[in-house]
Amino acid sequence: MNEARIDKWMWAVRIFKTRTIAAEACKKGRISINGALAKAARTVKPGDVIQVRKPPVTYSFKVLQTIEKRVGAKLVAEMMENVTTPEQYELLEMSRVSGFVNRAKGTGRPTKKTAGVWKNLQNRNFWMISTLNSILRKSKNKGKIMSERIIKWGFIGCGEVTKYKSGPAFQKIENSEVVAVMSRNGDKAKTYAKERGIPKWYDDAQELIDDEEVNAVYIATPPSSHATYAIMSMKAGKPVYIEKPMAVTYEECCRINRISQETGVPCFVAYYRRYLPYFLKVKSLVEEGHIGNVINIQIHFAQPPRDLDHNKENLPWRVQPDIAGGGYFYDLAPHQIDLLQEIFGCILEASGYKSNRGRLYPAEDTLSACFQFDSGLVGSGSWCFVAHESAREDRIEIIGDKGMICFSVFTYDPIALHTERGREEIIVENPTYVQQPLIQAVVDHLLGKSVCGCDGESATLTNWVMDKILNKL
């Protein structure tokens, strides 16, 4: 037999337990032949490479013989060759560590032990100790962090975020200073450094990372380069603080975490809203039982398109999926999802629908989603980035059996507490530089004073949720 149906062949070589399951995988777009999606009726021949997507891993198998009758396990090696890359198995290992290997349908939710993996990873005290020891052992600046007790930052990227949200905070915090900045545009880096009194500037990331004075790196570039720069820095023994989202895909996040584990060098992600007084107040209202037992979560977000969204010749990077991971959803929703997980625990199930209604750019602009936390609490969300001004909304509702809490994520509107006593507005002021509380926590972690929970492992879960909503997994 020179050819065989792909669904029959995958069943025959024991990739799937039944032909029906194999056909369903084809229907869902999880099977490719030589890089092209394949329907169940597509035929394969010797030499073809079959890609099988079993989230979070894509397995690859080279066809040696075409058969349609199932063989015993001992004969499989004669029928196909496993050519899956090592990187894919790295993803699988990270998923096992994280507790997110796919479960068979009908087996129920994960156990409390599995659901608590992420929480344990965040809270374990020995992480701080091992991390600091690894820094001392592996860094080119061996002993420098602990002996000088000063975190000397190098910035990769010097855009708007570094100007107004984070950059000044690094220099205001005790035992923290910025010693170098990098941009691919050397003139931009030079100007940024001169205006802010930063002594060094570079137009090459590797040169900044290799700078012996730099002992920690802040990555403030578009997400497509986060993984590359983070891995480069950690392999040089230098802790990283990455802008959100952590990376453009869940898989890239897993790889960053794996390198962090292998090197013992910590990775932090800029989910700074966890540390802002405004959101700490929301969390305390929930934990203090002001609205009783929480029964539902609803996210409502809508905004009109931005002026630059209409420039098809020069679209913002935030609406270019290859750079941003998605559209504005991938840029803004991470903060919402991360906050909810900080308050209510891990989201273990998520799904969604996406659409491009405005047709201004290639990324999705309208989404609806539903999700479930490890506690069983359910929620839903809707996002529209091409709405009319009259529909503008930034609102999360936490609904309990004794009341409701309403708050915004980006506009910091007064927190509204609804109870049997009526409606109460709570105004909470945030610091001028909104990332300062988190950056303080990161610096304290690196100096051995405390443990910062805004690490790569917790941030990866947010990417997992977004990728599930966007059907990327």
Domain finish residue from 272, 305, 335: 272
310 and 419 both lie in a single domain: yes
Q: Provide φ and ψ at 197, rounded to 5°.
A: 70, 30
Question: CA torsion 119→125→129→131, rounded to 10°?
Answer: 10
d(CA 273, CA 163): 18
Residue 96 domain-assigned (yes or no):
no
Residue 362 domain-assigned (yes or no):
yes
310 and 196 both lie in a single domain: no
Residue 120 domain-assigned (yes or no):
no
Q: What is the model's pTM?
A: 0.71
Report pLDDT digits (tens) over 271-297.
999 999 999 999 999 999 999 999 999
Tokens representing 91 are 């993803």
Q: Provide φ and ψ at 415, rounded to 5°.
A: -70, 130
Residue 67 domain-assigned (yes or no):
yes
Distances (CA, A) of 385 to 110, 224, 246, 367, 371: 34, 21, 22, 9, 21
Into how many domains does the chain fold?
A: 3
244 and 318 both lie in a single domain: no
Domain finish residue from 254, 272, 290: 272
What's the distance, Cα to Cα, between the start and end of the chain in Å? 35
Looking at residue 237, what is its pLDDT?
A: 96
137 and 227 both lie in a single domain: yes
Q: State the CATH number of the domain containing residue 67.
A: 3.10.290.10
66 and 29 both lie in a single domain: yes
Domain finish residue from 272, 307, 337: 272
247 and 261 both lie in a single domain: yes
Residue 223 domain-assigned (yes or no):
yes
404 and 313 both lie in a single domain: yes
Q: State the CATH number of the domain containing residue 141.
A: 3.40.50.720
Residue 33's beta-bridge partner residues?
A: 36, 50
254 and 308 both lie in a single domain: no
Residue 338 domain-assigned (yes or no):
yes
Tokens representing 163 are 């100007």
Residue 455 domain-assigned (yes or no):
no
Looking at residue 129, what is its pLDDT?
A: 38
Strand, helix or coil for residue 330? helix
Give kind and range of the element (H or E) at residue 472: none
**Which residues lie closer than 8 Å to 113 by C-beta, 6 or more apart?**
none
268 and 291 both lie in a single domain: no
Q: Are 154 and 182 in contact (CB under 8 A)?
A: yes
Residue 116 domain-assigned (yes or no):
no
426 and 282 both lie in a single domain: yes
Report pLDDT digits (tens) over 163-211.
888 999 999 999 999 999 999 999 999 999 999 999 999 999 999 999 9
**Which residues lie closer than 8 Å to 405 by C-beta, 6 or more apart?**
282, 285, 286, 290, 291, 397, 398, 415, 416, 417, 418
pLDDT in tens, the chain (473 residues): 688 999 999 999 999 888 888 988 888 788 999 988 899 989 999 999 999 987 667 889 999 999 988 888 878 888 999 998 877 766 655 554 444 444 444 444 445 444 444 444 444 333 343 444 444 444 434 334 443 579 999 999 998 889 888 999 999 999 999 999 999 999 999 999 999 999 999 999 999 999 999 999 999 999 999 999 999 999 999 999 999 999 999 999 999 999 999 999 999 999 999 999 999 999 999 999 999 999 999 999 999 999 999 999 999 999 999 999 999 999 999 999 999 999 999 999 999 999 999 999 999 999 999 999 999 999 999 999 999 999 999 999 999 999 999 999 999 999 999 999 999 999 999 999 999 999 999 999 999 999 999 999 999 999 999 999 999 99
Q: Provide φ and ψ at 34, rounded to 5°.
A: 55, 35
266 and 404 both lie in a single domain: no
Q: State the CATH number of the domain containing residue 298.
A: 3.30.360.10
Structural domain of residue 321, as residue ranges?
Answer: 277-430
Looking at residue 2, what is its pLDDT?
A: 82
d(CA 338, CA 268): 14
